[in-house]
Amino acid sequence: MSTTLPDKSVIFTADDFGLADTLNGAVVLSHRQGLLSCASLMAAGPRTQAALSLARTLPRLCLGVHLTLIQGQAVLPPEAVPLLVDSRGFFPNGPVATGWRYFCQSRLLPEIRRELAAQIEVVLEAGLPVWHLNGHVNLHLHPRIFPVVADLAREYGIPAVRLAREDWRTTLALAPDHPVPKIAQGLIFAWLCRRAARRARAAGLVFNDHIFGLTNDGRMTEAYLTGLAPRLKPGVTEIYCHPGLYADPELTRWAPRYQRQEELAALLSPRLKATLAAAGVRLTDFRELSRRAAKAGA
């Protein structure tokens, strides 16, 4: 169900929790001292076990699973999902080719379901609740994959899911570079989210009304976010980011444009916090939204 409210609320989420120590440390710091309320954990990240240990010390952190079917490693061994991964257990890297492959080859769906269930169970078996689901490069919104995600959310009692509906016009007003790719990406995900929203409502899932971090990904800086705060619309906006304590060669290899330290500075910024307050924007998370929706339903 939509979480639209008469007021303006914002959720700050860090994706890729478990990918590297610098990102894990940034999650802890920005949650304890800044605006971060949610984190999305990569179940087979190189530093996932460290992230799970940290999450146990952060009871107020609203934890989700960053479902991964691209640019990462599977939880299950290669022999369990041989159609999805290579001999080392890694998914493909190219978003367009991978997306078409998942669309055209329905025989992959049983392996996709098994793998995504295993990723969710990594967090649950660590004794931590899962409050929301999203996907690496937002692949969870793929028309073949989202029905699986919605079914798994119901099966495991996970109340919320991310919809990547970004107002690309607002993004371009604040960051006018590369307009054509931003417009194209915004329109594609608007279409995907219309389909996904119908299925999410049918499944009784909570989801955000708006998002930022899609078309200007990796550049959720203080300047960008302080400009964005007065432009936020009524309802719930999720802003997702990829902060880091310091430069990391492995993270840079995957995303050389990402301004991770600048994103961390934004999450810790007193100026941004004051700007949000002045704009009447309230901080929230998917746990609060889910509990509010459950209470309203009851």
127-174 per-position pLDDT tens digit: 999 999 999 999 999 999 999 999 999 999 999 999 999 999 999 999
Q: Over 60: is that where the pLDDT of 2 sits?
A: no
* Those residues with Cβ within 8 angstroms of residue 214's Cβ, 6 or more apart along the chain or in another chain: 138, 164, 166, 185, 186, 189
Identify whether 138 is part of a domain: yes
State the DSSP H helix or E strand holding residue 239, giving kind and residue range, or none if neither: strand 235-241
- Is a pLDDT exceeding 50 seen at residue 30? yes
Residue 97 lies in a domain: yes
Q: Is 18 left (phi over 0), alpha (psi -120 to 50) or beta?
A: left
Global confidence as pTM: 0.95
In a domain, 95, yes or no: yes
> Which position has the token pair 């444009």?
257
**The domain spanning residue 281 has which CATH number?**
3.20.20.370
Residue 219 forms part of a structural domain = yes
Q: Cα separation of 160 and 134, whole Å? A: 9
Is 1 inside a domain boundary? no
2 is a domain residue: no
Would you state the pLDDT for residue 1? 55
Q: Is the pLDDT of residue 5 over 50?
A: no
Our count of domains for the chain comes to 1
SS3 category, 40: strand
Q: For residues 85-113, give the mean pLDDT.
A: 95
With 90 as the cut, is the pLDDT of residue 110 above it? yes
Query: In whole angstroms, what is the distance from residue 194 CA to residue 199 CA?
Result: 9
At 254, the pLDDT band (50, 70, 90 cuts) reads confident
For the chain, give the percent of residues with pLDDT over 70: 98
pLDDT at 195: 93
User: Is 213 contained in some domain?
Assistant: yes
Task: For residue 212, give every residue at least 6 positions away whose Cβ sits within 8 Å of its Cβ, in sequence order, or none.
Answer: 166, 170, 171, 220, 228, 237, 238, 239, 240
Q: What is the pLDDT of residue 297?
A: 75
Task: Answer whether residue 3 is part of any domain.
Answer: no
* pLDDT band at residue 295 under the 50/70/90 scheme: confident
Q: Is residue 210 predicted with pLDDT exceeding 50?
A: yes
Structural domain that includes position 76: 8-297
